[in-house]
């Protein structure tokens, strides 16, 4: 089985200017996921998709392959599905495609390995993604999602709500080609803790990530 991981790291960011270059606990944000993928050491090839000269240089120095970001895929209207389908079309020789993000700095090598191992060894799953398992009171458009307000349950007895962490996705070539989506019809959900689930999308997220990282490393 031949596998590839694709890490999109663009130079521009609308909500947090220069997000991928911001320093988090003494290290640039984009360096975390690159280091963790390298430490996991499971993929045949790792590609960095970027429109940044700095990141291209970093990628080449660290043994990654570089894809020059297409301008239309650097726009805010482009999404993860668009990117992975493009990568699949450009590099159709792989049996499994993984997508990881610089905005998930604390996703650990062990979780990357676990997702890889389960997906490649299973006949049940065609894809995988990392997620949080939340036991709480959730609403959508003023409607309760997982409970009835008139019959108030204990939070620990409620059905869990699964939240994608947008840290890692993996999918077989067959399902990616068929559904053109980074999640197939039978995904393995790898639950991570809140530390690994940190996702950087706002200035507040950066502050929280800085604090959580310092506290976690004290343990």
Give per-10-residue mean pLDDT for the chain (219 aa): 96 84 94 98 98 96 96 86 97 98 97 98 97 92 91 86 96 98 98 95 93 77
CB under 8 Å to 70, separation ≥6 — which residues? 86
Give the SS3 label for residue 185.
coil
CB atoms within 10 A of CB 165: 23
pLDDT of residue 165: 96
Q: Are 47 and 7 in contact (CB under 8 A)?
A: yes
Q: What is the structure's pLDDT at 11?
A: 87
Measure the CA–CA gap between 120 and 136, rounded to whole angstroms. Answer: 33
CB 82 within 8 A of CB 40: no
Task: State the DSSP code for 110.
Answer: H
* The CATH homologous superfamily of the domain defined by 3-130+165-218: Spore Coat Polysaccharide Biosynthesis Protein SpsA; Chain A (3.90.550.10)
Q: Cα separations (Å) of 203 from 6, 14, 28, 105? A: 25, 11, 15, 15
Q: What is the pLDDT, as a whole number, of residue 218? A: 60
- Distance in angstroms (rounded) separating the CA atoms of residues 138 and 161: 8
pLDDT, position 59: 97
Whole-number pLDDT of residue 66: 98
Q: Of 156, 177, 162, 102, whose CA–CA distance to 130 is shortest?
A: 162
Domain residue ranges of the chain, discontinuous segments joined by +: 3-130+165-218
Beta bridge partners of 23: 28
Q: What is the pLDDT of residue 157?
A: 86
Neighbouring-strand partners of residue 132: 163
Residue closest to 21 by CA, chosen among 35, 6, 36, 32: 32
- The closest alpha carbon to 170, from 54, 42, 70, belongs to 42
Chain centroid to CA 203: 19
Task: Check residue 217 and give its pLDDT.
Answer: 67
Neighbours of 202 (CB within 10 A): 12
Amino acid 155: pLDDT? 82
CA dist 104 and 5 (Å) reads 15
């Amino acid at each position: 089985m031949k596998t590839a991981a694709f890490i999109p790291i663009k130079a521009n960011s609308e909500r947090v200017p220069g997000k991928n270059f911001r320093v988090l606990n003494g290290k640039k944000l984009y360096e975390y996921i690159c280091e963790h993928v390298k430490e996991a050491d499971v993929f045949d090839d790792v590609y960095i998709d970027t429109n940044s000269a700095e990141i291209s240089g970093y990628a080449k120095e660290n043994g990654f392959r570089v894809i020059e970001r297409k301008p239309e895929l650097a726009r805010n209207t482009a999404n993860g599905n668009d990117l992975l389908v493009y990568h699949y079309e450009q590099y159709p020789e792989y049996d499994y495609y993984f997508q990881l993000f610089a905005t998930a700095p604390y996703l650990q090598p062990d979780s990357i390995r676990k997702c890889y191992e389960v997906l490649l060894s299973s006949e049940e799953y065609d894809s995988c993604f990392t997620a949080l398992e939340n036991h709480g009171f959730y609403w959508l458009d003023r409607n309760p999602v997982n409970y009835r307000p008139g019959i108030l349950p204990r939070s620990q007895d409620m059905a869990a709500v699964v939240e994608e962490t947008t840290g890692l996705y993996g999918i077989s070539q067959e399902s990616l080609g068929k559904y053109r989506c980074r999640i197939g019809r039978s995904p393995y959900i790898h639950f991570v803790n809140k530390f690994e689930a940190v996702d950087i999308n706002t200035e507040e997220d950066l502050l929280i990530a800085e604090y959580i990282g310092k506290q976690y490393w004290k343990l």
